[in-house]
Amino acid sequence: MAIDEEFYKNLKPVEKHNDHVVWGPGKMGAGAEDPNVKAAYEASGKKIEPLGIHGTYVAVDFDDCEGEGTCLTTCPTTVFEWWMNPGNSGQDDRLDYRDKSDPVREADCIFCMACVTACPTQAIKVDESLVDVHNNVKL
């Protein structure tokens, strides 16, 4: 399922994480149905819960992300790193399929759309016009 194109209107900013906004509430998305994600949650003993959308002008729907990491390897400016393994952005650095591609360097985005094209679940939206939305968020 593709990311909600108007998430910034339909959701509320709930927190800041690594200098980007987290939008919620989340939903039970495609990630909750993925067999690899389900198995990783089972192995960890944790329950799948909605995580929301991380980022505004480089937005990743953590609930639809299946943790494949293709956006990390295709991004020419290294906008993303692993959410559960901060500071790491290699395909082999994923801790397990509960991990997500976190847009920690959103400001470094050059709007090339490589991550959007590469994402198998269409869980990423990149939109330069949303920079002002990010800059005006009140928490």
What does the alpha-carbon distance between residue 72 and residue 12 come to, in Å, rounded to a whole number?
Answer: 26
| H helices, E strands: number in the chain | 5, 7
- Asked whether 100 and 51 are in contact (CB, 8 A), the reply is yes
Length of the chain: 139
Q: What range defines the domain where residue 102 resides?
A: 7-135
pTM: 0.95
In this predicted model, what pLDDT tens digit does every residue of 91-101 receive, in sequence order?
Answer: 899 999 999 99
The answer to the question of residue 2 being in a domain is no
In this predicted model, what pLDDT tens digit does every residue of 58-71 receive, in sequence order?
Answer: 999 999 999 999 99
Q: What is the mean pLDDT of residues 86-115?
A: 95
Q: Which H or E run includes 82? A: strand 81-82
Examine the pLDDT at 1 and tell me if it is beyond 80. Answer: no
Cis before 25? omega within 30 = yes
What does the DSSP 8-state code read for residue 105? T
| Distance, first Cα to last Cα, the chain | 28
In this predicted model, what pLDDT tens digit does every residue of 28-54 receive, in sequence order?
Answer: 999 999 999 999 999 999 999 999 999
What does the alpha-carbon distance between residue 21 and residue 59 come to, in Å, rounded to a whole number?
Answer: 9
Task: Give the total number of structural domains in the chain.
Answer: 1
The answer to the question of residue 53 being in a domain is yes
The answer to the question of residue 99 being in a domain is yes
Q: Residue 131 belongs to a domain with what CATH number? A: 3.30.70.20
Examine the pLDDT at 7 and tell me if it is beyond 90. Answer: yes
What does the alpha-carbon distance between residue 126 and residue 43 come to, in Å, rounded to a whole number?
Answer: 33
Query: Closest Cα partner for 105 from 68, 139, 71?
Result: 71
Examine the pLDDT at 82 and tell me if it is beyond 80. Answer: yes
The answer to the question of residue 11 being in a domain is yes
The answer to the question of residue 129 being in a domain is yes
The answer to the question of residue 1 being in a domain is no
pLDDT reported for residue 114: 98
